Each structure stands twice: as C-alpha cells, then as structure tokens.
Amino acid sequence: MSTIANRSIDNFADTLDSRDIIARIEWLEEDRETHADSIAAASEYAEESPEYDALMTTGRADWDATSPDADEHAALTALAKECEGVRDWGDGAQLIRASYFTEYVQEMLESCGDLPRDLSPCIHIDWEATARDFAHDYYSVEFGGVTYWVR
C-alpha cells in the first residue's frame, strides 16, 4: 500500500493521483474495520472492568458519520464513483485542479519539447486559450466543491 495512504487527501492540491485516492480509501476502510474490532473486543469486558474503561477512553470507539475520517472517506468515495469511467483510474490517472489547469498545460507542453526553448520575447502564447482547447480531452469532476479535470 502507498505511503500516502495514511495521510489525508484534500482538495487543496493542484494535482491528485488516482492511485493515492484508491489507497487512501482502502486505508480508511481498514481503519474503520479496526475500530469495529475494538468495539467488539471492548464489549466482551464488563463495564466494571478496568480494561473496558481503558479501551473506551483510548480514542474514539466508533467511526461514525461525525468523524473527520468518515467525512474524508465519503468525499473520496464520491470522487472515485464520479471517476468510474476514467480509463486509467486504477493505473494512475491525474486529476488537475481547475485553477491550476492552464499552468499544468503550459508546463506539460514545455516539458515534452513541443515548444522551442528559445522563443523570441516578442512571441506571446495565449495559454488560457490553449488550456481551453486541451480541456476538450478532459472532463470535470467535483471533489469537496472544487473542480478537477481528468481524462
């Protein structure tokens, strides 16, 4: 499992990798099962037992809908469901934050050598228009109220 799996994923990142999202969902689900196992183990003890009190005070015994982990799980699961049609989802599809998309397209084109490195300073490229043209190959998904582009 990815090392990012134990770190939360939020909608502040410029890019997200679908493999990290998948790993995080799996990690959160395993964490939820661990909490369920703790509850089951705690219920075996009588309420008078010191072990019962210790188990119940060592963090949340339940993983309910008010848990930040539960909120993150719900948001990531909704995002994954929205991306079900993405061809490379399991192999590492990139999600690009809409506010970063123009810069992403510019960096991508410059890094792959589609533009000469020594362009004259009098040549101006309309990166906004270029990004709009590239966006035709992507579709938008929402993650926590933020739009990301993915293809």
- Phi, psi torsion values for 147, nearest 5 degrees: -85, 135
Please write the tens of the pLDDT for every residue from 65-75.
557 788 899 99
pTM (2 decimals)?
0.74
What whole-number distance in Å separates Cα of residue 16 and Cα of residue 123?
32
pLDDT in tens, 81-123: 999 999 999 999 999 999 999 999 999 988 887 677 777 888 8
CB of 144 closer than 8 Å to CB of 8? no
